[in-house]
Copies of this chain bind each other. A is one copy, B any other.
């Protein structure tokens, strides 16, 4: 006996349209294979007159209540993007006992405790596989397959726009501004690229990812965030010469009582599996006590891959309406009191200095680092214009604060810090 499952859409743009087409094309096969008759009942749009024309207008409404209050709708799929009104609409849907499926990392990261509480209070499900890494099944892998493991590290390329920009800069030696302009022309970057290039998007995703991986709520505002706007082709070229590839990484690490979460440009050894994830691909590297190292890669954006992940959630939700999956941690606004969020992480550092090419300069630099107990693993010096020199260092493992202090102690009259980029293994 087929089970009918009625869906309501909040938003029906690129992603909503992709989901509509997948569910239409696959309807009969899903019905035959799974015994689930998926029916799209209503879709909230801003303007029916201006809505996409490949979807019947009969579905559409401009009134959110037609989706949120319709008692026949079982599952509400949110495709609006942005924090509001998406988050408040999702909350109302949950409060009406409807299961919610979303790909909206921003609304979820900033409102997760309230949404999860609404789901719990009303016996509804809340699913968000597509919110991190697009079609990559990382949420379900962490919550189900690795449920018995102890994950100590997640490291992800979770923003396709910045990965595209860095890949182009790396392969063609072009400037950030140049590649960004091209990406905007190709529709691969937004007219206002801030959310991507400044790492906000990656930080929302890291908040979700690390909360699940570490079984403790990692609020968005605990994440250290740096974007890629100040990365230069010189940094990338010097890094390559020394065997490293530059990526914007979302990094989460956990020990027993400490969590560090940070989004920043990162050099990886060329042999690292993430170093080879190019273009708009996404990938998430996971390390745990038992699973050891694992990597999942796939399409992080695009209507079809995103629709695939969302529809996987929809089918799972349809099969588990009565016993929805809940996170295995206290999803509260205030993180666990026995967890410390550290800003003084340990890693290696790539440092590029512009120095006066005079006797004693190298000694000053060496002294500044050794004074902070930072030892240098490799070094490169190149003559630059106007009698100056470029000095590139890669340190051994060191503490963030010590490195910051060492750099601040350099006299800018002799040694100017051009860049400092963290290096992960």
State whether B294 touches A146 (Cβ < 8 A). no
Q: Which residues of B have CB within 8 Å of A296?
A: 294-297
Most-contacted residue by chain B among A290, A307, A312, A329 (CB, 10 A): A290
Kindly identify, within residues 308 to 327 of chain A, every residue whose CB is under 8 Å from any CB belonging to chain B.
Answer: 308-309, 311-312, 314-316, 323
State whether A299 touches B295 (Cβ < 8 A). no
State whether A145 touches B309 (Cβ < 8 A). yes
Candidates B22, B34, B323; contact of A290 at CB < 8 Å? B22
Given contacts A22-B290, A298-B291, A328-B34, contact A312 B150 (CB under 8 A): no
In the assembled complex, A184 has its CB within 8 A of some CB on chain B: no
In the docked arrangement, what's the CA distance between A113 and B18, Å?
36
State whether A290 touches B276 (Cβ < 8 A). no
In the docked arrangement, what's the CA distance between A137 and B288, Å?
14
Q: Which residues of B have CB within 8 Å of A382?
A: none
- Which of A25-33, A52-60, A232-240 is the interface stretch? A25-33
Most-contacted residue by chain B among A22, A293, A304, A308 (CB, 10 A): A308
Given contacts A140-B145, A147-B315, contact A294 B288 (CB under 8 A): no
Given contacts A302-B292, A308-B288, contact A22 B148 (CB under 8 A): yes
Interface size on A, residues (CB 8 A): 50
State whether B137 touches A312 (Cβ < 8 A). no
State whether B135 touches A294 (Cβ < 8 A). yes
In the assembled complex, A305 has its CB within 8 A of some CB on chain B: yes
Q: Which residues of B have CB within 8 Å of A329?
A: 33
State whether B297 touches A292 (Cβ < 8 A). no
In the assembled complex, A264 has its CB within 8 A of some CB on chain B: no
Closest to A313 in B: B145
In the docked arrangement, what's the CA distance between A111 and B413, Å?
76
State whether A304 touches B290 (Cβ < 8 A). yes
Closest to A320 in B: B323
Q: Which residues of B have CB within 8 Å of A147?
A: 34, 311-312, 315-316
In the assembled complex, A409 has its CB within 8 A of some CB on chain B: no
Closest to A290 in B: B308
Kindly identify, within residues 12 to 36 of chain A, every residue whose CB is under 8 Å from any CB belonging to chain B.
Answer: 18, 22-23, 26, 29-30, 33-34
In the docked arrangement, what's the CA distance between A299 and B146, Å?
13
Candidates B30, B294, B308; contact of A297 at CB < 8 Å? B294
Q: Which residues of B have CB within 8 Å of A23?
A: 148
In the assembled complex, A215 has its CB within 8 A of some CB on chain B: yes
Kindly identify, within residues 152 to 195 of chain A, every residue whose CB is under 8 Å from any CB belonging to chain B.
Answer: none
Q: How far is the CB of A273 from chain B (nearest CB, A)?
A: 7
Candidates B33, B129, B295, B311; contact of A328 at CB < 8 Å? B33
Given contacts A141-B140, A273-B276, A297-B273, contact A148 B292 (CB under 8 A): no
In the assembled complex, A69 has its CB within 8 A of some CB on chain B: no
State whether A295 touches B294 (Cβ < 8 A). no
In the docked arrangement, what's the CA distance between A297 and B298, Å?
12
Q: What does the 1/0 interface line of A126-150 toward B look like (CB < 8 Å)?
A: 0001000001110011001111111
Q: Which residues of B have CB within 8 Å of A273?
A: 276, 297
Candidates B26, B145, B298; contact of A129 at CB < 8 Å? B145
State whether B307 touches A290 (Cβ < 8 A). yes
Given contacts A294-B299, A298-B294, A316-B144, contact A311 B149 (CB under 8 A): yes
Q: What are 19 sample pairs from A and B whose C-beta atoms fall under 8 A apart?
A: A23-B148, A29-B150, A33-B215, A136-B294, A137-B140, A137-B145, A144-B144, A147-B315, A148-B311, A148-B314, A149-B308, A290-B308, A294-B296, A294-B298, A294-B299, A295-B296, A295-B298, A296-B297, A323-B323
A135-B292, A288-B308, A291-B298 given; name 19 further pairs at CB < 8 Å. Answer: A18-B290, A26-B150, A34-B328, A135-B291, A137-B141, A137-B144, A137-B146, A140-B145, A147-B311, A148-B308, A148-B311, A148-B312, A273-B297, A290-B305, A291-B305, A294-B296, A294-B298, A295-B296, A295-B297
Nearest first, the 9 A-B pairs at minimum CB distance are A148-B311, A137-B145, A294-B298, A290-B308, A291-B308, A145-B312, A137-B141, A290-B304, A149-B308
